[in-house]
Amino acid sequence: MAAQLIQTVNLTRRFGDVLAVNGLELAVPQGSIYAFLGPNGAGKTTTIRMLLGLIRPTEGDVHLFGQSLRGNRKNILRKVGALVEGPSLYPHLTGRENLELTRRLIDATTAQRDRALHIVKLVDAADRPARTYSTGMKQRLGLALALLVDPELLILDEPTNGLDPAGIHEMRDLICGLPAQGITVFLSSHLLSEVEQVATHIGIIQQGQLRFQGTLDELHAQMDTQLTLEVDQPQRAKSVLAAAGWQVKSNGGHRLVVDANNLSDASMINAQLTQSGINVYHINLEQPTLEDMFLSLTA
């Protein structure tokens, strides 16, 4: 088994009757940007809180860097930066002072503090009270807090939540640059569109259960392409194709939808129909988008 930075075993958490996280088996490889996707209430934040030891699993275990979180909390957290559900900022302190607080707690250097400010582009605003910051700036300061420990693993819970498009873009750029610095990123989102450009790996969670886990290519490979046809004799066409072994769906109109993989399937289908004397008006091979896939997995 390849070295996984995050590995959970049967990770489960109940809140009373609610099974918030159910038998999760996460495997996050080193050096990846792992997007943890799921609709609101799917169990993303609950999972992240368990990864950080903020709440205890009802069942199962968390292993970070190959070590169990139980009993190695401090050693592990030395290498982990986190931003959970919005930044933890003292509004009456300046950006730099907010970082200084955490710096004192973890005994980092002032150079590390100023480097974190630099990475998130807050040097100019560093000496203003955090209460005067925009949502995007607050979120970036939260990211700076997470970067202060010089993490090998960064865990971000919905880092783009509440940001405007420019803020989302900026955050995305920041995150993209992290693996080059040797940082593995685990980030959650309820929107695929926000992470599909940055993620190397994807985990999809719904109602506490993992529906998919793998690379983006693996997700693409799982997706069935479809051939849409418009023909003059839909009923006959349907039986001809079914007899040839294709999966055909029809809505009763002139349109047929056939499960097909590629263009050669498409031309083969076209040939079979014309040989049977059926006119084909329209033929189109459709690749469902990741969004379609995500929606069908989490519907």
- Burial class from Cβ neighbours inside 10 Å (0-12, 13-18, 19+) for residue 217 reads exposed
Closer residue to ligand ADP in complex, CB, 40/264: 40
- Work out how close the CB of 104 gets to other proteins at its nearest, in angstroms, rounded to a whole number: 4
* Residues 293/202, Cβ–Cβ less than 8 Å: no
**Using CB under 5 A as the criterion, which residues of the chain lie in contact with Mg ion when the complex forms?**
44-45
In terms of C-beta distances under 8 Å and separation of at least 24 residues, what long-range contacts does 267-276 make, across chains too? 269/227, 269/229, 269/241, 272/240, 272/241, 272/244, 273/229, 273/231, 273/237, 273/240, 273/241, 276/236, 276/237, 276/240
Question: Which of ligand ADP, Mg ion, other proteins, none does residue 27 bind to, with CB < 5 to 8 Å depending on kind?
Answer: none
Whether the Cβ atoms of residue 112 and residue 187 lie closer than 8 Å to each other: no
CB nearer to other proteins: give 88 or 225.
Answer: 88
Say which entry of other proteins, ligand ADP, Mg ion, none residue 118 contacts (CB below 5 to 8 A, set by partner kind): none
Using CB under 6 A, pick the residue from 4, 7, 45, 139 that binds ligand ADP. Answer: 45
Taking the mean position of all CA atoms in its chain, how far away is CA 160? 12
Q: Closer CB to ligand ADP, residue 48 or residue 108?
A: 48
Helices (H), the chain: 44-51, 73-77, 95-106, 110-119, 135-147, 165-176, 192-195, 216-222, 234-243, 263-275, 290-298
Per-residue contact flags (x/-) with ligand ADP for residues 9 to 28, judged by CB under 6 A: ------x--x-x--------
Considering only 23, 29, 31, 41, the residue that binds ligand ADP (CB under 6 A) is 41
Q: Kindly tell me which residue out of 43, 57, 87, 203 binds ligand ADP, with binding defined by CB under 6 A.
A: 43
Cβ of residue 42: shortest distance to ligand ADP, in angstroms? 4
> Smallest distance from the beta carbon of 158 to Mg ion, in angstroms?
6
Q: Applying CB under 6 A, which of residues 7, 8, 46, 298 lies at the interface with ligand ADP?
A: 46
Query: In this structure, are residues 159 and 85 in contact, taking their beta carbons and an 8 Å threshold?
Result: no
* Chosen from other proteins, ligand ADP, Mg ion, none, partner binding at 282 (C-beta under 5 to 8 Å by type): none
CB of 51 to other proteins, least distance (A): 9
- Interatomic CA distance for residues 33 and 36, integer angstroms: 10
User: Which residue of 7, 22, 26, 44 would you call a contact of ligand ADP, by CB under 6 A?
Assistant: 44
List interacting residues with ligand ADP (CB under 6 A).
Answer: 15, 18, 20, 38, 40-46
